[in-house]
Structure 1
Amino acid sequence: MSGRLDIMRFRDWARPVPPVRREILSALPQTDDGRPPLLFVPGFGHGAWVFAENWLGHAAGRGFPAYAVSLRGHGGSGSAPGADLRAYAHDVVQAAAGLPRRAVLVGHGAGALVVEHALARYPARAAVLVAPVLGGWDTLGTALRRNPGGTLPAVFGGALRFDRRQRFSRELPAEAADAYLARMGRASRRAQWQLLDRPAAQPPVGEPPVLVVGSPDDRIVPPAALARAARRHASAPLLFPGMGHDLMLDAGWYEPIEAVLDWLDKEGTA
């Protein structure tokens, strides 16, 4: 419902999300011309560092204050073995509320699902869903077909693991890909199970424009899933052929972030 802002609900009052130390990395432009800050939200197993590698600095170079938050239990944020999607969305809302101006939320992978839930609490200027993993048993089916060895342990509470070819294109040198994979962790068991249940996000506060970005060659999120995610927001996905799931780390990282920043300019959010 347009204009609705449910910051506090009964469940939040009765069972508040426990506080945790949040890691927030940033890159700021040399001069502040009033552009909205960008808050990047990594997916499960990723920390804020995945955006600090390339996208934060590039966004700052284009004049956007750029921040990335590590969800609890990820990166340098505090441990949270029992975290759920509500807690992850809380982390995003709290991080966004601490920024100097109303922010654009950018979520990658399962972080896109977290962003969709955060949009019901936070009046974002806009949102970008990058290679969105929005959950459901079709997500599990795709993962089982393409990566049975890395998916089956997650069904029984273990970590969901993806190999080099699922995360990155062949253009990224194997040494760099393996180094990135070695830095990745895991989400909580509870959050992984919730991802399969595909908990529906409530409508966003206001009507922020939403862009879906991905690759037709993504071996985690198939093109049909990208199209479905875009249709939910009355748009079409912006596709980058030849890239892997982790667009912000892949060899062609420059093109997607440039397109996102150009879209923000055209939408008038800047």
Structure 2
Amino acid sequence: MTGHTENSLGASLELQARQPAVDEGRPPLLFVHGLGHGAWCWEHWLAAAAEAGHPAYAVSLRGHGGSPGRLRTARLGQYVDDVVATAESLPRPPVLVGHSMGGLVVQQALARYAARAAVLVAPIPATPAVPSLLEIARRHPLDALRIVGGGSLPLRAEYLFRELGDDDARRHTDRCHGESAIVQYQLLFHRPAGPPLGDPPVLVLATPDDALIPLRGIRATANRYGATLEEFPGMGHDLMLDARWREPLDVMLGWLRTAL
């Protein structure tokens, strides 16, 4: 089911939702996508989380997916506003689940919103993402120059997937789009988020074979939050879409059963 919620300015944001057959009171999950993606990228995890008994929601940040808004002028703090407003609109406080850029958005949202827990999926680290730019430059120097020049990072299949078939990979990359140049600069130079409200438990899911985010920064971020870190060798940056997407999802669902 796809509906809409309002952000802090009253703009309507796309909100995809899946409900369990029986609501047994398990905490809702609010999924936050990464750079150039939308709520659509959580299609596998949304359905499987609902089957496991969790009300599951995925928001498209302003200018992404089916949400309105000017992408060119969007700022990282506005994405945080979108997540906090969406979380506050849900019937019960959710677990925040953020991928890549969305993982950094969740880190910043935790400083403003007392979430039940948080899951960071291949997140932009708590520290500036300059190592990611260097990794991109090593693989595709012109892509790095494009970012520095204010263009969007081309979301190539080789950046996102390691095991997914070519047809499925193309289907996903065709749905990706550009990103705010302002936000891309902010990712490179941001300051660490403030401490989380309420000291929620945190899980970090990552892959040592990530083509966009070096694992060292992700491990440091896990240490900063006292988080459990689980790694999935052989998978690509888009853990929720690569061929073995169910493995990190099952780890997350098992962790939620014990952490909450």
1:228 alignment partner in structure 2: 220
Equivalent of residue 103 in structure 1, options 94, 102, 119? 94
Query: Does residue 1:70 correspond to 2:60, yes or no?
Result: yes
Q: Partners of 1:183 and 1:69 in 2: how far apart?
A: 16
Please, which of 236, 246, 250 is the counterpart of residue 258 of structure 1? Answer: 250
Residues 170-200 of structure 1: CA distance to partner in whole angstroms, max 9, x if unpaired? x211011011101101221111111111232
Aligned-partner Cα distance in 2 for 1:168–1:180: 10
Q: For 1:49-68, list aligned pairs within 5 A.
A: 49-52=40-43, 54-68=44-58
Identity of aligned residues (%): 48
**Secondary structure of the corresponding residue to residue 11 of structure 2:** coil
TM-score (norm 2): 0.93
Measure, in 1, the Cα distance between the counterparts of 2:142 and 2:257: 43
Distance 1:241 1:129 in 2: 17
Q: Find the counterpart in structure 2 of residue 150 from structure 1.
A: 143
1:120–1:203 contact (8 Å) kept in structure 2: yes
Alignment gaps of 5+ in structure 1: 1-15
One-letter amino acid of the counterpart of residue 91, structure 1:
D
* Contact 2:30/2:59 (<8 A) preserved: yes
Q: How big is the shift at 1:236?
A: 4.6
Q: Deviations over 1:182-229 (max 9, x none)?
A: 110122111111111123211111100111101111111222122111
Q: Is the 8 A contact 1:151 1:161 kept in 2?
A: no
In structure 2, the gaps of 5 or more residues are 1-6
Where 2:12 maps in the other structure, the secondary structure is coil
User: Take 1:228 and 1:200, find their aligned partners in 2: how far apart are those partners?
Assistant: 12
- Aligned match of 1:238: 230
Hey, what's the Cα distance between the residues in 2 that align with 1:147 and 1:264? 38
How do 1:41-190 and structure 2 match up within 5 A?
A: 41-52=32-43, 54-80=44-70, 81-134=72-125, 135-169=128-162, 171-190=163-182
Any idea what SS the aligned residue of 1:237 has?
A: strand
| Number of residues of Structure 1 aligned to a counterpart in Structure 2 | 251
More off after superposition, 39-48 vs 200-209: 200-209
The alignment status of 1:22 with 2:24, answered yes or no, reads no
Q: What's the offset of the Cα at 1:83? A: 1.1
Match of 1:7 in 2: none
Partners in 2 of 1:247 and 1:178 — Cα distance?
16
- How far apart, CA to CA, are the structure 1 residues paired with 2:207 and 2:232? 5
Quick one: distance in 1 between partners of 2:8 and 2:45?
A: 30
One-letter code of the match for 2:146? P
Q: Check whether the contact 2:8–2:85 (CA below 8 A) recurs between aligned residues.
A: no
How far apart, in 1, do the equivalents of 2:225 and 2:160 lie? 26
CA distance in 2, matches of 1:235, 1:102: 20
User: 214, 218, 221: which one pairs with 2:210?
Assistant: 218
Q: Which runs of 4+ in 1 moved over 3 A?
A: 16-19
Aligned CA distance change for structure 1 residues 136 and 232 (closer, same or farther; 3 Å) = same
Match of 1:34 among 25, 28, 46: 25
Query: Is the contact made by 2:152 and 2:178 (CA closer than 8 Å) also made in structure 1?
Result: yes
CA distance in 1: counterparts of 2:248 and 2:67, whole angstroms: 27
| Structure 1 stretch displaced more, 255-264 or 221-230 | 221-230
Distance in 2 (CA, whole Å) between partners of 1:178 and 1:254 is 20
Are the counterparts in 2 of residues 227 and 236 from structure 1 also a CA contact under 8 Å?
no
Moved more, 124-133 or 232-241: 232-241
